[in-house]
Amino acid sequence: MGLIRTGWKYICCCWVLAVLLTACSEQRRTTVKNYPKDVPFVFYNEVNVQGPTKKDEKKRLAKALQNHWDDSLQSRRIQQFGIFYVIKNPAVFDSNNINRTFAYMQSYLRSQGYYGATFTYNVTVDTFKTQLRTSISIQASTGPNTVIDSVAYAIADTALQQLATQASATSFLRKGTPFSKEVVAAELDRLVNIYRKAGYFKITRDNFYAEVDTLDANLLNLSADPFEQALRITEAAIKRKEQPTIDVTIKQRSVGLNADITDTTTVKQYYIGNVYYYPETKSYEIFDSLIGKPFPIVAERRNFTVYEKSGAFHYKTLREYTYFKRGSLYNEDEFYRTLNNLGSIGAWQQVDGRPTFRGDSVDIHIFLIPALRQGYSFDFETSRNTGDFLGSNLLGVALNASYRHRNVARRAIQMNTFLRNGVELGLGNANNTTGNFLQTLQSSFGLTFYFPRFITPFNVKSRNKFDGTRTFFNIGAVYTDRREFYRLRSFNAGWGYEWRVKNRVWKYQPFNAEIYLLDTLQLLRNAFVENPFLRTAFNTGTVLSQNLSVTLALNNPRRPNNTSSLRFAVEEAGGIFGLIPDLTQNIYRYLKFEAEYRKLIAFSKKHQLAGRFLGGVGYNYNTVDDKSKVLPFFKQFVAGGPNSMRAWGLRQLGLGSSLLSDTSSTFRDRFGDVQLEANVE
């Protein structure tokens, strides 16, 4: 109880100190270095946004306008220790620079569709010791945002006009939505992307422009009655003041000898000609110099040609990730998709492409720089265990060896293998119940293969719609000998698939086998008598399962520094194999569901807020006594540790976690069939 009271005192003191520090104004927590003497200098500036816009929009504009101060009015602060600030070499305040700031801010607000913005400012000079600290506050009244009233495409080329009309449903320009230059730029980029997917290799944004009109069309209908015409003008003025609107028309710049764009090939469709692969390119070689150069090995395939020096790669890997073929229209998405997928395999450290033109054909040259084919690593590690219920004050020593091959059988197959051997040594303490210097011996082995394609007994339809496809196979074994307590042997093997569709990453493992064999020795049987709960931590058996997971990237293009993801996973064990009578007594049968949401909010390069929520539930539906009621301990949910609540040790957080309970028992690991966890840091 003394430890608990001391802990509460420490927490209260920290809380009081934090409140006192944050209660001080930011100005008082700011130190100025090398400031000009006896003249006002820029110490603080702020922007307050007013207008009929929403609260979130005002915050966004205020944050953006803060970056549009004139350089001589910027207050550049460096944050220290999270609560203090330092300003170095502040500029002398000059009121003439405020008008330039107004111009910068006016230009930005117009780009966001606020054409009626007005500005006022207030300057205060505070004397602090020998400093004349000047604070500038700007009030920006935005007025109503201009909204889009109509959208039209008036493109001279009929083929381009047809493509734009067909894809108008995905336009960024929509009637009734706010107008801004960013929206227009995004729309032009969208059109260029559509055209480049339709064979227009050389087309760019320079081929198009947006014509905008804020004039009310009713004013063009002249009336013979001057009073009626004056009324129309008055109504239009009131309407523009209350809710200004704008008409947007996307047009094409003229192309020709004496036109805006003289290169007529920018509106020419290109077809895929020849495709050339250079899978053994050296990092020091100039790509363009390899085009047309003779190679010792030239392999002609149906849709591409391979130029090699030693035949280190099989052509089937390249065929699997080639998404275009000769004679088809050039598609920029397929071009970059081919490069990205080849680069994600791991056999090549860099993949790049070069186009060459022949009439209406474009030849694609793809250069691949191989990664280091084989790699070895050796690690030596030590650990200290002072809280094990089987004994304390143990010194762990382990030697790890790993080997990686990135091009097995010349097919870009990735192979990862590791071997680990470790021991725990007793240091002669009183809790060393066995009296042995060598307390624990452990050896483990793992081998994983990644095949850069789907390996299935049937043909996968629409496989070209998937990215990052690969098949994996893994096996592993662990042997643990805890002297005079137990000997544990475990084996595992699995087969599965991974692929990606847009922002979703899928993983399906149709077969996963895990076998656990335990020899219980005398000292462990004695521990069971003292603590019956330990039996659940040493239940053994066989798991024959399949699992499926999907991870969704939920990123907002308007906030690229903020990332979020959502993961769902389900595991089923014994549903099929449990129907076999001879296996029912030996395997686990359960269902396990998980859902996890992660959010990262970046306030600056050094300040981020990370949040995580995890929920999971497992249900064991086996009827065999020693394998029913709960999940096997190696499949149960746990909390605490580096990937969870880091303030607690691994498996130390759960029902009953407290300073009293965690120090009154030798066994503190906690497992569960249901978990809800949320944390923010």
Structure confidence by residue, pLDDT tens digits, 49-100: 988 888 888 998 998 999 999 988 888 887 776 678 888 888 899 888 899 9
In the sheet that holds 41-50, the strands lie side by side as 41-50, 131-141, 118-128
Q: Using CA atoms, how far apart are residues 327 and 331, in angstroms rounded to an integer?
A: 12
Q: Using CA atoms, how far apart are residues 590 and 673, in angstroms rounded to an integer?
A: 11
For the entire predicted model, the pTM comes to 0.76
**What's the confidence (pLDDT) of residue 406?**
95
Collapsed DSSP state (helix, strand, coil) of residue 453: coil
Q: Using CA atoms, how far apart are residues 119 and 49, in angstroms rounded to an integer?
A: 10
CA-to-CA separations, 292 to 289, 295, 488, in angstroms, rounded: 8, 9, 62
E strand intervals along 101-146: 118-128, 131-141
Residue positions counted in the chain: 681
Cα 588–chain centre separation? 35
Q: Return the amino acid letter for 484.
A: E
**What's the confidence (pLDDT) of residue 666?**
46
In our burial notation (b when 16+ CB lie closer than 10 A, e otherwise), range 405-419 reads ebbeeebbbbbbbbe
Residue 458, burial from CB neighbour count under 10 angstroms (0-12, 13-18, 19+): exposed
- Label residue 404 left, alpha or beta by phi (over 0 means left) and psi (-120 to 50 means alpha): beta
E strand intervals along 279-393: 297-300, 305-308, 348-358, 361-370, 374-385
Whether 20 has a pLDDT exceeding 70, the answer reads no
Residue 93 burial (CB count, 10 A): 22
Instruction: Give residue-wise pLDDT tens across range 162-197.
Output: 999 999 999 999 988 888 888 999 999 999 999 999
- Range scoring the smallest mean pLDDT among 112-116, 534-538, 627-631, 674-678: 534-538
Q: Using CA atoms, how far apart are residues 79 and 86, in angstroms rounded to an integer?
A: 7
Whether 387 has a pLDDT exceeding 60, the answer reads no
